[in-house]
Each structure stands twice: as C-alpha cells, then as structure tokens.
Amino acid sequence: MRRLALAALAATLAAGLAACHPAVSDQTAFDARVRDYLMKHPDELRAALENMQAKEDSDEVKALAAADARAKAVLPALRAQLEHDPRDFVANPAGAVTVTEFYDYRCPHCINIAPRVISLIHARPDVRFVFKEMPIFGPTSEHAARAALAAKAQGKDYVGLYEALMAARPLTDDEIDRLAASKGVNIAAMNAAATVSADQSHLDDIAKLAQKLGIDGTPGFIVGDSIIHGEDYPALESAIAKAAGGAGRNRA
C-alpha cells in the first residue's frame, strides 16, 4: 500500500514540475528530475505520504461505518438465518448470548484467532457459538468447509475438526481428508454427489448472507447488533459482555 501511495505521490509531484507531459524520449531525464526533487524535499514527501495515509484510513473507516449501519438495519430480518440455520454447527446451544463467526480455514487471521475461539467455547458455556463456513480462498478452502459440514451432518467432532484444520500446516486436500477421517467422518459419504450439491447450496447461502451483512472478509463476528471485522478479540469480548448484560436484564 505504501509503495502504491509513493508511486501516486511521485506522479502528483511530477505533474507540478512540468506543465506538459514529457515526450517518451525524454522520460529518463524527467524521471531523474522527479527523483532529485523528492530527494531534496524529504519532509514534504513524508508529510504528503502521511496525509494520503490519513485520508485512506479516514475513508476506510467511513465506508466501514456506513456498511455496518446498513447491516444493522437489515439484521432483524436476517437474524433467524444468521443464528438459527439448522445446517450450521452450534457449540453451547443452550447459551444465552449468541456469537456467529464467518471464517475460512486458510485465512491467516482466522487461524490466529481460532485458539481463542476454542478457549471461549470451553470457558463460556453461556456463549452460544454459531459456525458459518465461508471459504474465500479457493477449492481447498471449500474442501475443508465441506469436511466440517460432513462432521456436523454425521454427528462427529466438529469443534475438534475445526481446531485441527486451523492448526494444519500446510492445509492440503489430502490432509483435510486425513484429519476428517481421524474424527470419524465418512469421506465417501462426504463426497457423494447429493451431499456435495447440498453443501454447495449451503455455502452459497452463507456467502449471500455475508454480503447482505457487509462481511466482505474473514474472520467476521456478529454478537447481537455488534459487528466485528477481523481478529479483534478485545472487541469480541466487549460485544459479548454487552450482550450478556442485556441478556441478564431480560431474564430479570
């Protein structure tokens, strides 16, 4: 990102050095003039880069806030699909607070936060955790998602397979099958044409739901009306605490 910004800045400053664009034959000399200008004005270059970065950050924050506002407006209509799709695996199904995660087994940020997700599930039985398979990194990610869905459908150790898939290095198709089989998944049944078709329909529905909710990357968490983008565990903890307080008041 910084390299692109520098290139854009050089082009902007270059425009100020000449009223007309240089001829192709003069490009080498023109480039030398640009480099010389930048070398002689490092403070100006640094300030311009910082201003560009601040603008990019501000624009991104504003865009994300607008997307979250749109998502919160449609959340009530999508709540059942988000939290109670019977095709999804749910840990701690009796929990009073629901957390939904959209993730990919090959996403570095999902991998980073996975151990904390596992710890949360074990430490907080009051937190109902919905797993939304959202493979965005190609066929191997889709293969891993289908293996997990097979574990759910066949009554096997879904959470254990989630943990194993997140920890696998590298995560290959063969390793996915080996890990799934180690958890008791019937691989032949997983790969049956009817199962593959049903799983693809499920994954397509999750992708469409994520789009409606402004989840354009992984991981993405939703707790009540809070939307957490990325591996921001403190924000997730805060959203859970807020939701738990609301659940306690509702029970009272």
The Cα-based distances of 80 to 3, 35, 76 in angstroms read 44, 58, 8
For residue 69, what are its two tokens?
């506002």
The model carries a pTM of 0.75
Residues 40 and 98 grouped into a single domain: no
Question: pLDDT grade, residue 71 (50/70/90)?
Answer: confident
Find the mean pLDDT for residues 111-132: 98
**Mean pLDDT across 231-250:** 86
Average pLDDT over residues 182-188: 98
Residue-range definition of the domain harbouring residue 152:
72-251
Same domain, 163 and 145: yes
pLDDT score of 10 more than 70: no
Q: What is the mean pLDDT of the chain?
A: 86
Domain membership of residue 67 (yes or no) is no
At 18, is the pLDDT very low, low, confident or very high (cuts 50, 70, 90)? Answer: very low
**Domain boundary residue, one of 40, 62, 84:** 62
- Indicate whether 28 and 133 sit together in one domain: no
In a domain, 205, yes or no: yes
Could you tell me if 86 and 115 are in contact, meaning their C-beta atoms sit under 8 angstroms apart?
A: no
Residues 114 and 191 in one domain: yes
* Whether residue 155 is found in the same domain as residue 107: yes
Taking every pair of Cα atoms in the chain, the longest distance, rounded to a whole number of angstroms, is 79
Top pLDDT among 49 and 205 is at 205
In this structure, of 39-48, 101-110, 146-155, 220-229, the range with the lowest mean pLDDT score is: 39-48
